DNA sequence: AACGCAGGCAACCGCGTCGAA
DNA sequence: TTTCGACGCGGTTGCCTGCGT
C-alpha cells in the first residue's frame, strides 16, 4: 500500500532532539500518556511527527530504559535469542528489560557481529563460516572427473576458499588417491556406512587435537573421502564428517537432501538417508535452559519454523538434548562472566557459546 | 595542533501488518 | 470485501566522537 513519509510535510522538524523538545515530550506523556502518536506532537507543542516522537520516547526518554554497557548476561542472551529469532530485535528486546530494539540492534551490529566474524562464525546463521572451510573448491575437475557433482553450486556456497587450506587438503587428497588401495578403501567406506562415526561435540577451542588423535582421525577420515573421490561412485563424496561441514553452512540444502534423493550427473540416484542413515545435523547447541528461559512455547514454534524455512537449521537437538551443552553457561555463567573483563575475554567466552561439530581433522584455528 | 579515518549511536525511511470505516 | 490510516519493525543513514598519524 505504502504511505507518504509523515515528516516531509508541514515543515516538521527532523534530526537531533533538543533538551527543550525532550522535556516537552516527557511532560506531555507523564501527564496524558502518549495516546495517539499522530496527535501527540500537536498537543504537546512539538514540531515533530508522531513517529519521531514515538521513536524518541521508546528509544531514549522512556523512564525504564537502562543505559550503559551491556552486561555479559545480556550479551549472552542476545546471542542466544538471535540464533533462534534472527533479526527480530523487538522480540529480543522484549526479553531484555530496559533495553530497546534499536539499542540491541546497534549493539549487535557494532560489537557482537564483529566479534562473531572474528571468531569465524557467520553472524547470520551462527554457523562456522565455510568460506574458510570450503571443501567443494578442491573437489574440482582436476581431482575428479566432470561427471561428478558441482556441490558448491548445489549448496549455494561461493567458492571463497582459503588458499592455504586448499593446498593442504589438495595434498592430502591427491596423496590418498595415488597411494591407497581402492578396494580396501571401498570396504572401509562401506564399514563406515554400516557403522557411522558418532557425532561428537567439539568446541572451537578443540580445533587442535593432540597429534596422535589427529593422525588417527586422518586415517579414519581420509580414506572415506578419497574412496569416494577417486572412484566414480554415485555415493556422495563427503564422508560423514565432511557432510557435517557442508551442512553447517547449507542448511537450506539439507532439507532437500533429507527428503529427496541426490541426483548425480550420471543420472543415478542415491538416497543419502538409505546409504548413510540419518544425516548428522548441525546445531549450534546453545544451552537449552538458557534458551528456554527466554522463550515461550509459541516462540519456540515460531522461531524454529522460521529457522527451518529460511536457514534450514534443525534446533530440535537443542531442545531435546540437555546433555549436549557442555558450555560453561550451564554451570555458572555469572562466575565465569564476572571474571571476564576485556574484549578478548568476551571473545573467549563467546566462543564457548558456539559448539560446532567440526571434525578434528581440520585445524582451522590458524585460518581464523 | 591539525587532519583523516573508523566506530558508535541516534534518528530516519520505507514497508508490512492490523484494525476500523 | 476493500480501502485507508496508524503503528511497529528492521534496515539504513548521517552525525558525533575518539583515536591514530
Q: Give the per-residue pLDDT at A260.
A: 31
Task: Give residue A133's pLDDT.
Answer: 53
What's residue A349's pLDDT?
55
Residue A252 has pLDDT above 60, yes or no: no
Contacts with A161 (C-beta within 8 Å, 6 or more apart), sequence order = A131, A134, A137, A138
A336-365 tens-digit pLDDT = 333 444 455 555 555 555 443 333 333 333
To the nearest whole number, what is the mean pLDDT of chain A?
Answer: 53
Strand B lies under 7 A from the Cβ of residue A110: yes
> What is the average pLDDT across A133-158?
38
* Average pLDDT score over residue span A164-182: 40
Residue A86: nearest nucleotide (C-alpha to C1'): C10
Looking at residue A77, what is its pLDDT? 87
Nucleotide nearest to A91 (CA to C1'): C9
Please report which confidence band the pLDDT of residue A232 belongs to, taking 50, 70 and 90 as the band edges.
Answer: very low
Using a 7 Å cut-off to protein CB atoms, list the covered nucleotides of chain B: 7-18
> Residue range A243-268: average pLDDT?
33
> Mean pLDDT over residues A204-230, rounded?
34
Provide the pLDDT for residue A222: 32
Q: Is the C-beta of residue A108 closer than 7 Å to nucleic acid chain C?
A: no
Measured torsion, CA atoms of residues A29, A33, A34, A36, in degrees rounded to the nearest 10: -140
CA atoms of A177 and A227, how far apart (whole Å)? 8
Going by pLDDT thresholds of 50, 70 and 90, the confidence category of residue A299 is: low
Average pLDDT (A150-159) is 36
Protein residue nearest nucleotide C8, by CA to C1': A90
Q: What are the pLDDT digits (tens) for A305-329? A: 444 444 333 333 333 222 233 233 3
Residue A131's pLDDT is: 60
The answer to whether strand B lies under 7 Å from the CB of residue A343 is: no
The listed range with the strongest mean pLDDT (A66-70, A165-169, A263-267, A361-365) is: A66-70
A58 touches strand B (CB under 7 A): no
pLDDT above 70: residue A153 = no
CA/C1' separation A234–B21 (Å): 64
Evaluate if the CB of A194 falls below 7 Å from strand B.
no
Between CA A15 and C1' C15 the distance (Å) reads 10
What pLDDT does residue A247 have? 36
Q: Is the CB of A114 under 7 A from strand B?
A: yes
SS3 of chain A: CCCCCCCCCCCCCCCCCCHHHHHHHHHHHHHHCCCCCCCHHHHHCCCCCHHHHHHHHHHHHCCCCCCCCCCHHHHHHHHHHHHHHCCCHHHHHCCCCCCCHHHHHHHHHHHHHHHHHHCCECCCCCCECCCCCCCHHHCCCCCCCCCCCCHHHHHCCCCCCCHHHHHHHHHHHHHHHHHCCHHHHHHHHHHHHHCCCCCCCEEHHHCCCCHHHHHHHHHHHHHHHHHHHCCCCCCCCCCHHHHHHHHHCCHHHHHHHHHCCEECCCCCEECHHHHHCCCCCCCCCCCHHHHHCCCCHHHHHHHHHHHHHHCCCCCHHHHHCCCCCCCHHHHCHHHHHHHCCCHHHHHHHHHCCCEECCCCCCCCHHHC
| Model pLDDT, residue A10 | 59
More confident residue, A269 or A292: A292
Scanning every strand, the nucleotide with its C1' closest to A2's CA turns out to be B15
Domain ranges (residues) in chain A? 1-63, 67-262+270-368
The predicted-structure confidence for A98-142, as pLDDT tens digits, reads as follows 888 888 988 888 888 888 887 888 888 887 766 655 444 444 333
Per-residue CB contacts under 7 A with strand C, chain A residues 74-93: 87-91
B12 C1' to A269 CA distance, Å: 53
Fold of A1-63: Arc Repressor Mutant, subunit A (1.10.10)
A1 touches strand C (CB under 7 A): yes
Amino acid at each position: 500500500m505504502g504511505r507518504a513519509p509523515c515528516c516531509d510535510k508541514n515543515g516538521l522538524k527532523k534530526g537531533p532532539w533538543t533538551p527543550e523538545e525532550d522535556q516537552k515530550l516527557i511532560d506531555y506523556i507523564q501527564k496524558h500518556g502518549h495516546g495517539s502518536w499522530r496527535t501527540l506532537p500537536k498537543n504537546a507543542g512539538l514540531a515533530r511527527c508522531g513517529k519521531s516522537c514515538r521513536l524518541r520516547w521508546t528509544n531514549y526518554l522512556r523512564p525504564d530504559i537502562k543505559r550503559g554497557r551491556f552486561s555479559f548476561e545480556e550479551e549472552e542472551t542476545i546471542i542466544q535469542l538471535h540464533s533462534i529469532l534472527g533479526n527480530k530485535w523487538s522480540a529480543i528486546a522484549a526479553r531484555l528489560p530496559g533495553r530497546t530494539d534499536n539499542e540491541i540492534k546497534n549493539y549487535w551490529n557494532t560489537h557482537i557481529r564483529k566479534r562473531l566474524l572474528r571468531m569465524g562464525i557467520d553472524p547470520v546463521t551462527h554457523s562456522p563460516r565455510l568460506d574458510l572451510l570450503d571443501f567443494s573448491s578442491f573437489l574440482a575437475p582436476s581431482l575428479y572427473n566432470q561427471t561428478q557433482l558441482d556441490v558448491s553450486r548445489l549448496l549455494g556456497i561461493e567458492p571463497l576458499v582459503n588458499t592455504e587450506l586448499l593446498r593442504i587438503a589438495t595434498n592430502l587428497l591427491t596423496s590418498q588417491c595415488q597411494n591407497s588401495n581402492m578396494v580396501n578403501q571401498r570396504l572401509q567406506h562401506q564399514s563406515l556406512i554400516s557403522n557411522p562415526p558418532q557425532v561428537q561435540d567439539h568446541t572451537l577451542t578443540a580445533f587442535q587435537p593432540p597429534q596422535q588423535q589427529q593422525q588417527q582421525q586422518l586415517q579414519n577420515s581420509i580414506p572415506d573421502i578419497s574412496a569416494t573421490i577417486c572412484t566414480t561412485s554415485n555415493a556422495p563424496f563427503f564422508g560423514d564428517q565432511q557432510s557435517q561441514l557442508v551442512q553447517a553452512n547449507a542448511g537450506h540444502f539439507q532439507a532437500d537432501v533429507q527428503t529427496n534423493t541426490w541426483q548425480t550427473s550420471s543420472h543415478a540416484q542415491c538416497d543419502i538417508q538409505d546409504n548413510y542413515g540419518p544425516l548428522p545435523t548441525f546445531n549450534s547447541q546453545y544451552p537449552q535452559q538458557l534458551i528456554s528461559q527466554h522463550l515461550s512455547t509459541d516462540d519456540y514454534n515460531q522461531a524454529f519454523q522460521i529457522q527451518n524455512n529460511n536457514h534450514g537449521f534443525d534446533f530440535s537437538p537443542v531442545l531435546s538434548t540437555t546433555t549436549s551443552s557442555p558450555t560453561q553457561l550451564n554451570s555458572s555463567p555469572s562466575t565465569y562472566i564476572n571474571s571476564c573483563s576485556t574484549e578478548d575475554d568476551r571473545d573467549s567466552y563467546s566462543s564457548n557459546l558456539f559448539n560446532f561439530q567440526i571434525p578434528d581433522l581440520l585445524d582451522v584455528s590458524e585460518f581464523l
